[in-house]
Amino acid sequence: MIKAGILGATGYAGAELARLLSAHPFAEIEILTSAHNAGAAYGDIYENFRHTGRVCEADDIEEAARRCDVVFISLPHGIASKRVTADILAKTRIIDLGADFRLKDIGVYEKWYGVEHFGAGLIAEAVYGLSEIHRADIRGARLIANPGCFTTAGILALYPLVKDRIIDIDTIIIDAKSGVSGAGRGLKPELLFCEADETVKPYGVTTHRHTPEIEEQLTLAYNNQDGGARSRAGDRSIILNFIPHLVPMNRGILSTCYAMPAEKGVTYEDVRAVYAKYYADEYFIRLTKKGVFPETRWTKGGNFIDIGFTVDERTNRVVIAAALDNLVKGAAGQAVQNMNIMFGLNERAGLETPPAFPI
Amino acid sequence: MIKAGILGATGYAGAELARLLSAHPFAEIEILTSAHNAGAAYGDIYENFRHTGRVCEADDIEEAARRCDVVFISLPHGIASKRVTADILAKTRIIDLGADFRLKDIGVYEKWYGVEHFGAGLIAEAVYGLSEIHRADIRGARLIANPGCFTTAGILALYPLVKDRIIDIDTIIIDAKSGVSGAGRGLKPELLFCEADETVKPYGVTTHRHTPEIEEQLTLAYNNQDGGARSRAGDRSIILNFIPHLVPMNRGILSTCYAMPAEKGVTYEDVRAVYAKYYADEYFIRLTKKGVFPETRWTKGGNFIDIGFTVDERTNRVVIAAALDNLVKGAAGQAVQNMNIMFGLNERAGLETPPAFPI
Amino acid sequence: MIKAGILGATGYAGAELARLLSAHPFAEIEILTSAHNAGAAYGDIYENFRHTGRVCEADDIEEAARRCDVVFISLPHGIASKRVTADILAKTRIIDLGADFRLKDIGVYEKWYGVEHFGAGLIAEAVYGLSEIHRADIRGARLIANPGCFTTAGILALYPLVKDRIIDIDTIIIDAKSGVSGAGRGLKPELLFCEADETVKPYGVTTHRHTPEIEEQLTLAYNNQDGGARSRAGDRSIILNFIPHLVPMNRGILSTCYAMPAEKGVTYEDVRAVYAKYYADEYFIRLTKKGVFPETRWTKGGNFIDIGFTVDERTNRVVIAAALDNLVKGAAGQAVQNMNIMFGLNERAGLETPPAFPI
Amino acid sequence: MIKAGILGATGYAGAELARLLSAHPFAEIEILTSAHNAGAAYGDIYENFRHTGRVCEADDIEEAARRCDVVFISLPHGIASKRVTADILAKTRIIDLGADFRLKDIGVYEKWYGVEHFGAGLIAEAVYGLSEIHRADIRGARLIANPGCFTTAGILALYPLVKDRIIDIDTIIIDAKSGVSGAGRGLKPELLFCEADETVKPYGVTTHRHTPEIEEQLTLAYNNQDGGARSRAGDRSIILNFIPHLVPMNRGILSTCYAMPAEKGVTYEDVRAVYAKYYADEYFIRLTKKGVFPETRWTKGGNFIDIGFTVDERTNRVVIAAALDNLVKGAAGQAVQNMNIMFGLNERAGLETPPAFPI
């Protein structure tokens, strides 16, 4: 059995990871940590784990690296870049669910996150952990930067169209709708039930930190036709609008993407063919039938992303909708999928249970 | 007191009208009708009216016209165009909450609604009942076509920008999010609680019937700089994407609108000035403070539409969000506002109670 | 116009009061206060009041008493008993929405609330503001102790049955279900959306502070057949189980009450007659039809309490359900009703709008 | 691999069964049937199964019996009692999720369900499938009557207390709160989102069909101290109040149970000891810590029932709360647990994933 550690197991993503690993056939949880609740029964914090008898340990990456084959980090941004070192990577593999190693351009990171990055030396080594796109690199990686929830939806929805240059990259708009768990478990007034129930609102309008992550990955896809994951001088940059909205539900992201075709006359079948080219063999990417659009409910608890689209001749626009569970394919499930790839397991191991409905 | 009738009082919009009129200082309900529940106590259908002792009468427009100063029609499309006649208009004023008299172009109506229009002769007379835009015409009107819920949000969000040609009309996208009451009270599987709770989905993608209504009104605004409400040869047509989404909440519409500025260098202040030009004196239109975006919760039960926006220099796009209560400003409240104008009352009469929160 | 002040206008009950008073035909808001937001625009805190231009003032009861005919206090318990003095009562009337003056037995107050009571001298004068039961005393009162939300539901559901001694007072159980707004706007982890959505839980099991309030009022009703509001030596005490539950909705309380009949053979009609005896002329108390039970949705935004019941011959139990809006009949609406009585107004003034549905 | 069939896979319980069996290590789905959708892709009905490629077959129990080692029946009551015959039981094992074989007293069945029972000959053989109580009988059974959702919560909450006669059986009240999925997927107006959202209501007051099921099982427990599952002359009958309420959430049941101790002086520890006596080794029954009460959210998607309680000295009552997922421990999970027992598997097989939160 692979021994796994979870640093930051008391956040929602960390807890979802604990849930998925609890039933994984080839991995087991060796250590769960909590910065504020070391020593506490995990079942006192998350009663759904009451039966496990697990206890939170201190947030010690050295200890975790010593005891584990793989350590998942689910901590606020700015911490992993300090704690993950060459020394740690010599002892264990790291899958970081935070933002610290996602952006290749450190200047972009520091600008959007407003903090200094302390792990510059490892950025080059870090592999962006979107399994379907970077599978080959993930296989041999020691350090995975697990993608953000919105970015997973946005990139996977648009990747084939950008890669094959079938859409005009200057016209991309992503209007995303997210459940509240995406905002985390912090005590913020706007996250109170009575403030978030029965309402919809935009937030982080034009300033959300997942924007540069989507842009960087799509830019790489557009320019590196050979599949490389590094930018080059002269690359054409993709700049887009990403506007998230908060929806009164626990989980789920729906990203509605708008773009104009790169040239006139693109048909539904053309676009479908491009999706098929890249995703036909991808188990966790499900294309809806023509005329059917994704709904977040069909993905809850599962590691799938559902994608549907139309080509509107009237307005000459492609409209794509992508749905996923932000805590699974958008975080913990994606992380387990990456672990499976890194350790040469069946990529679906521990992720076989279909999404639950209604739940 | 103005005597008011409601044809179709057992739908959600009809019931909301009954609620608002119940507390109106200058109007009273003379007749409530129901196609399927004539003779039933209204309080047996809507227990919130239990105390009123009202009884539903048959859906008879002749009877309603005879007894009422104004008749509100809240029936499925295709019915009002048959029942409203010159004879009826000679007896009473009509405010139709349905779609039959909203579109000036009968061909567009028949194409999008898929039914024949039987009241062609009255279309020219009908006034599109968006009070803030057509107030002068509403004053003397006998027949009001009360706007659709999505269209109210879309048009009011974009009207000043289109009218003053500050945005590029070929780049407009409206991504709307709606509560479930917008879909009505019909027994459809997808409207069951367990099918609509905890999920978001797009629907009517590129085919929703409110699309041509928004397009026609914005096209008129763009072309008729003199404020006229009729199209002319040579008019430039506005074609846009309108994609609604269903959100797990009872009420509320949030429309997020995207467009590029007509020319470079448009600033937040420029856009704000255009809104102020048209809306500064409009009680029911509230502009949010800079940096604040509307949320549907602040409008529930009230007749306001809240509008906020930003100008994103990075992508050169204007992003506007507008929020309203689909059953009030998007239906019954707008209808009462129109009644107030038609009868020379204070436009706010019966609409003074602020939105409720949390509710 | 009656000049009204609201101390603590930034809590949910205070804001609901502001909403109701905004449309009251005979009262107007003179002052809104906030302990933490003095000087802030009220519309910045509650955007639903954006259009009003109101500004929060400091929490100064002297100032409020000087400028207002009536001051509503909506502050945490323990504060009103310090601030309300004989001097204040000489200047204005007080309607306290908090708990400080509700219990006649100061020892019970101090035991259940765990704090010292500083206004003992005024307890005797304070009138328990359940309009339907203490109307006569409210009329001439200077100080009203507005009832708690759960207590209003529990007392009004059981009052006639206890008063007429038709149920066995040793067998009363109240199982209550409440929306989340009842817990207030404080930043508590268990009130976060993701912690309260899609779940039900009991809380304050056998320890909720509304318990003694219900017990005291029902005990008075049982013993004082003459309607007096003071206990006497030898009174039979009512002790009951009150167990509240948190339900994922913004508003509403449903109290399901269980009791055995005082003697065998009590019928539905017997119980109905007792309700009719006390409530037949009460506008705000609506009895459901036989076989129909109340639902909180029919009361949202309105000042009604709906009561329905059955007599189960199989188990020899009376089961009563009562529904109300915790922020209206359970707080702000009840307070306005009391104000109306105190000032000799029509008791329904400002409370005429029917509950809204769906909302 | 055990070959399993699901008759009625398009209801919510059937679909949950399909979900759980999809990831079962020792069982696989051989056939899914649908009365109305034979031939349809299962993924067209439940998009969460889109990736499976499964197709619904006709509702043919003969065919299912021929091909399967075990057939789960998830059909409306009245059907299984006709289709399950001695002949069928000679070919396969049956786990019926419906009500037809739950009640031993056929007269009680016909009275509460209002239909004739056609399978009287098999009632004696049928084993009531509450694993924790009837495990020994389940082991060798051919026909399992899987318990109802409310009954599972009610019986497991009260069984030890009734069995050990620590509570007064004439004082039992069960006030239950259920998510909407318990009402099934039928097109009923009261199940529409806008009718069920943001409200609580009692239903089936004193008439719900799970009442006699709870009563029969508790009566057997009380009288048969030897553990037998048959009633005898002279047995003392338990009659109780069971009042369910509908809560705006997809899943979950919380049953709050009230009873007086059989004699004075019963303590928390006494009651805890009785629970421990029967449940100490039960994996799927979790007792909460003292002072903590169950919440449905901790059980979602898992097969656990959480039980917490208090002994209220003030009122001399025991208050017990039990929470479970109505579609798992209340239906499909319980059925899988029974299958595991019948086939000699680890009872937890396929049920190891902890409940998900927040979801």
Mean pLDDT in residue range D127-156: 98
Above 90 in pLDDT, residue B86?
A: yes
C215 within 8 A of C235, measured Cβ to Cβ: no
Query: What average pLDDT does the structure give for chain B?
Result: 97
Which pLDDT belongs to residue B231?
A: 82
**What confidence score (pLDDT) does residue C226 get?**
79
Omega before D358 cis (within 30°)? Answer: yes
Helix segments in A2-117, DSSP class H? 12-22, 42-45, 61-67, 80-83, 86-91, 106-113
Q: Nearest-5° angle of CA D244, CA D246, CA D252? A: 90
pLDDT class for C233, splitting at 50, 70, 90? confident
**B359–C301 CB contact, under 8 Å:** yes
The pLDDT value given to residue A337: 98
Instruction: Flag whether pLDDT at D122 surpasses 80.
Output: yes
- Three-state SS at D82: helix
pLDDT digits (tens, 9 = 90+) for A234-261: 899 999 999 999 999 999 999 999 999 9
Inter-chain CB proximity B355 and C18 less than 8 Å: no
Grade residue B204 by pLDDT with cuts at 50, 70 and 90. very high
Nearest chain B residue to C353, by CA: B23
- CA–CA gap between residue D274 and residue D165 (Å, rounded): 10
**Among all residues of chain C, which has the CA nearest to that of D250?**
C198
Mean pLDDT, chain C, rounded, equals 97
* From D68, D149, D194, D257, the catalytic residue: D149
The set of chains that have 3 or more CB pairs under 8 A with C is A, B, D
What's the pLDDT score for residue A227?
Answer: 73
Distance from CA of C122 to the nearest CA of D (A): 29
Of the partner residues A16, A181, A353, the one whose CB lies closest to the CB of residue D23: A353
Run of H or E residues at A115: none
**Residue A233 has what pLDDT?**
85
What dihedral angle (degrees, nearest 10) is formed by the CA atoms of C150, C151, C157, C160?
Answer: 180
pLDDT at position C124 is: 95
pLDDT score of B119 more than 80: yes
pLDDT at C225: 85
A17 and A351 in contact (C-beta within 8 Å)? no
For D21-75, the pLDDT digits (tens) are 999 999 999 999 999 999 999 999 999 999 999 999 999 999 999 999 999 999 9
Tens-place pLDDT, residues A83-121: 999 999 999 999 999 999 999 999 999 999 999 998 889
Six token digits for residue A146? 């697990």
* Contact criterion met (CB below 8 Å) for D249 and C200: yes
What residues form DSSP beta bridges with C6?
Answer: C32, C72
Contacts of D180 in chain B (CB under 8 A): 193-194, 197
pLDDT digits 0-9 by tens, A273-323: 999 999 999 999 999 999 999 999 999 999 999 999 999 999 999 999 999
The identity of residue D355, as a single letter, is P
Structure confidence by residue, pLDDT tens digits, D223-233: 998 777 788 88
Nearest Cβ partner for B243 among A199, A256, A296? A256
Quick check: C180 contacting A, CB < 8 Å? yes
Contact B241 A177 (CB under 8 A): no
Q: Helix axis angle, B333-342 relative to B12-22, nearest 10°? A: 50
Instruction: Find the helix or strand (DSSP H, E) in which D261 lies.
Output: none
- Asked if D48's CB is within 8 angstroms of A299's CB, the reply is yes
Name the residue facing C251 among B46, B302, B358 (closest C-beta).
B358
Helix (H, G, I), strand (E, B) or coil at C73: strand
Mean pLDDT over C279-287 rounds to 98
Q: Single out the residue of B87, B66, B89, B71 nearest to residue B33, CA to CA.
A: B71
Measure Cα distances from D304 to B81, D129, D152, D282, D322 in Å. 58, 15, 11, 10, 10
Other Cβ atoms closer than 10 A to D265: 9
Residue with tokens 């209801």: D11
Question: Which residues of A are less than 8 Å from B198 in CB distance?
Answer: 179, 249-252, 296-297, 300, 358-359
φ, ψ of residue A351 in degrees (nearest 5): -125, 25
- Chains touching B (at least 3 CB pairs under 8 A) are A, C, D
Please answer yes or no on whether C239 and D314 come within 8 Å at the CB atom.
yes
What's the average model confidence in pLDDT over C135-140? 96
Q: Which residues of D touch A306 (CB under 8 A)?
A: 47, 50
Mean pLDDT of B284-289: 98
List CB contacts (< 8 A) between C245 and chain D: 177, 254, 256
Which among B199, B241, B256 is the nearest to A315, CB-wise? B241
* Nearest residue, CB atoms, C192 vs list A192, A198, A249: A192
| B180 band by pLDDT with thresholds 50, 70 and 90 | very high
Neighbours of chain A (3+ CB pairs under 8 A): B, C, D
CB atoms within 10 A of CB B66: 13
Which residue in this structure is represented by tokens 């992503």? A174
Nearest to D146 by CA among D12, D331, D8: D331
Query: Is a pLDDT exceeding 90 seen at residue C305?
Result: yes
* Terminal-residue alpha carbon distance, chain C: 31
Could you report how far apart the first and last alpha carbons of chain A are, in Å? 31
Interior angle at CA D153, CA D152 and CA D154, nearest 5: 95
Alpha-carbon span C286 to C267, nearest angstrom: 20
pLDDT digits (tens, 9 = 90+) for C189-225: 999 999 999 999 999 999 999 999 999 999 999 999 8
Share the mean pLDDT of chain D: 97
Overall average pLDDT of the C266-281 stretch: 98
Helix extents (H) in chain B = 12-22, 42-45, 61-67, 80-83, 86-91, 106-113, 120-123, 131-139, 149-163, 193-196, 210-223, 268-279, 333-342
Q: Are B99 and B113 in contact (CB under 8 A)?
A: yes
pLDDT bin (cut points 50, 70, 90) of residue C227 is: confident
Amino acid letter, residue D303: N
pLDDT at D297 over 80: yes
Ordered alpha helix ranges (H), C2-83: 12-22, 42-45, 61-67, 80-83
0.85 surpassed by complex ipTM:
yes
**Please, which pLDDT band fits residue C84 given cuts at 50, 70 and 90?**
very high
CA distance D267 to B310: 63
Beta C317-324 vs C253-259: how paired, if at all? antiparallel
pLDDT band at C228 (very low <50, low <70, confident <90, very high): confident
State residue D62's pLDDT score.
Answer: 98
| Beta carbons of D194 and B249 less than 8 Å apart | no
Task: Test B192 with D191 for CB contact under 8 angstroms.
Answer: yes
Distance separating alpha carbons of residues D185 and C357, to the nearest angstrom: 23
Can you list the domains of chain A with their CATH numbers?
A: 2-125 (3.40.50.720), 150-326 (3.30.360.10)
d(CA C200, CA C216): 29
C56 is catalytic: no
| A 182-221 → C contacts, CB under 8 A | 185, 187-189, 191-198
Q: Which residues in A lie closer than 8 A to residue B245 (C-beta atoms)?
A: 177, 254, 256
Q: How far is A89 from chain D (nearest CA, A)?
A: 30
Would you say residue C253 has pLDDT above 90? yes
Phi-psi category of residue B53: left, alpha or beta, with phi > 0 → left and psi -120 to 50 → alpha: left
CA distance B301 to A260: 38
A44 CB neighbour count, 10 Å cutoff? 14
Q: Which two tokens stand for residue D222?
A: 């009380």
Q: Which helix H or strand E contains D124, and what residues bound it?
A: none
Say what the pLDDT of residue D226 is: 79
CA nearest to D46 within chain B: B195
Number of C-beta neighbours around residue A45 at 10 A: 18
Q: How many residues are present in chain B? A: 359
Amino acid at B275: Y
Tell me whether residues B199 and A295 touch, CB distance under 8 A. yes
Chain-centre distance for alpha carbon B178: 13
Q: Is residue C1 pLDDT above 90, yes or no?
A: yes
DSSP state of C331: I
Within 303-332 of B, beta carbons closer than 8 Å to D belong to none
Contact state of D51 with A353 under an 8 Å Cβ cutoff: no
The token pair at D356 is 């998900």
Its pTM stands at 0.97
State the smallest CA–CA distance between residue C169 and chain B in angstroms.
31
Query: Do D186 and D75 meet the contact criterion of CB atoms below 8 Å apart?
Result: no
